[in-house]
Amino acid sequence: MKGITLPVLGIAAIFATSISSCNNQKSDDTMETKKGITKASFGQADGKEVFLYTLTNAKGTQVKISTYGGVVTSWIVPDKNDKKSSIVLGFDSLSGYLAKPPYFGALIGRYGNRIANGKFKIDTSEYTLATNNGRNHLHGGNKGFDKVVWESATENDSVPSLMLSYLSKDGEEGYPGNLNVDVRYTLTDDNELKIEYSAKTDKATVVNLTNHSYFNLTGNVSNTILDHTLMIDADNYTPVDSTLIPTGEIKPVKGTPFDFTKGEKIGLRIDSVKGGYDHNFVLNKKDSSLTKVASLSDDKSGRTLEVFTTEPGLQFYSGNFLDGSIKTSDGKAINQHSALCLETQHFPDSPNQPKFPSTLLLPGQQYHTVTVYKISVNK
């Protein structure tokens, strides 16, 4: 999804930062692969020390996560030729994230996606949020969950697991209620990255948490994602206006460029979608059980990514606003369609759309959603 900080990405801090995704093979191939979880200093932000955790499973797959923004900085897996690379965009150092790139790998909250005009009501009370995406509110505001330092705790019994916690205080970014948030990342031996989101509030509020990882299964940003094959188990989607706010309609995908029900190359019909894909898909699942909702595959690498979620929606964003101003450590530009996002979520602008599934959280209720990204390799 569009990050409004994109125009400042050409600043020196970005160009000086080496990016770990898709090209930095030398360090990846020499990494310690013992199963477990390790912790290292990653710098400072907001006067707090930031840590980088490395989760390693029994197969040697590694996921790195920063306590700044809860960011997945890399996910290193072999391809069909056993060459290791990261399938997500991310930086080697904290400075890349402090320069505010467009949400690479970050935890998003309080509200993932857009809220029209930065306003919503709960009963008779109206709340005003930052309008940081044109006239709309995006991804929690000027300083959403992607830009705060999370508290951390680890578990390493049978699988490496990282718990991140954050207290979003009443009035933060305009949202009501003190919101206690816990997000647990777990890397299983089946190459699944499981993300569990939990939250409680002391005042009625709205919550829509997600992760904003950018995927390129080739492991090389010189290859676009247009040749990736995508399947989304959704017969309907939510059309949007010119500012990417849902119109309130739910329309069938059949006969449109939004039909990925049988699996299609992303580039096949993208030119028929003005600006590219940045749309919410209404998943066919009928309840909140953990269900497979999408798959992404790449013939070059042999990799396949499956997405399972308890959520009712999936935002497919095709990296439309990547413009080459961010570069990899060996000087390769991250251009348009160099990566894509598959963000599990409730629908955009739900607080203003009574026909959409509710994102209202009341005191005494428990917010809990689960998403699993599973990677496999066909050799």
* Per-residue pLDDT reduced to its tens digit, 287-342: 999 999 999 999 999 999 999 999 999 999 999 999 999 876 667 788 999 999 99
Q: What's the pLDDT at 28?
A: 44
Q: Shortest CA distance to 296 belongs to which of 226, 201, 367? A: 226
Please tell me whether residue 95 adopts helix, strand or coil conformation. helix
Q: How far is CA 66 from CA 94, 165, 256, in A?
A: 9, 13, 39
Q: 212 catalytic, yes or no?
A: yes
Q: Does the pLDDT of residue 273 top 80, yes or no?
A: yes
Q: Which residues contact residue 158 at a Cβ distance below 8 angstroms, ignoring those fewer than 6 apart?
A: none
pLDDT 10s digits, 108-129:
999 999 999 999 999 999 999 9
pTM of the full structure: 0.91
- Residue 346 CA neighbour count, 13 Å, CB half: 26
pLDDT 10s digits, 44-76:
999 999 999 999 999 999 999 999 999 999 999
Q: Which residues contact residue 239 at a Cβ distance below 8 angstroms, ignoring those fewer than 6 apart?
A: 246, 247, 249, 251, 279
Tokens 């990282």 -> residue: 162
In the set 137, 139, 212, 346, the catalytic residue is 212
Mean pLDDT confidence for 196-211 = 98
Q: How far apart are CA 341 and CA 139, in angstroms?
A: 14
Q: 343 catalytic, yes or no?
A: yes
Q: What's the pLDDT at 368?
A: 98
Return the bridge partners of 304, or none.
Answer: 297, 376
In the set 172, 173, 192, 343, the catalytic residue is 343
3-state helix, strand, coil in the chain (%, to 5): 10, 40, 50
Phi-psi region for residue 194, left (φ > 0), alpha (ψ -120 to 50) or beta? Answer: beta
Distance between alpha carbon 253 and the CA centroid of its chain, in Å? 23
Exposure string for 75-92, b = 16+ CB within 10 A, e = fewer = bbbbbeeeebbbbbbbbb
Q: What's the pLDDT at 15?
A: 29
Q: Does the pLDDT of residue 212 top 70, yes or no?
A: yes
Tokens 């979608």 -> residue: 273
What does the angle CA 182 – CA 290 – CA 161 come to, to the nearest 5 degrees? 40
Q: Six-digit token pair at 360? A: 């209202």
Domains of the chain: 6-377 (2.70.98.10)
- Written as one string, the DSSP assignment of 193-209 is EEEEEEEEESS-EE-B-
pLDDT 10s digits, 70-88:
999 999 999 999 999 999 9
Cα maximum dimension of the chain: 60
Q: Six-digit token pair at 307? A: 């997405």
Q: What's the pLDDT at 326?
A: 86
Q: Does the pLDDT of residue 164 top 50, yes or no?
A: yes
- Phi, psi of 12, rounded to the nearest 5 degrees: -60, -35
Quick one: which H or E segment has residue 28?
Answer: helix 25-29
> Among the listed ranges 17-31, 110-124, 144-158, 186-200, which one has the minimum average pLDDT value?
17-31
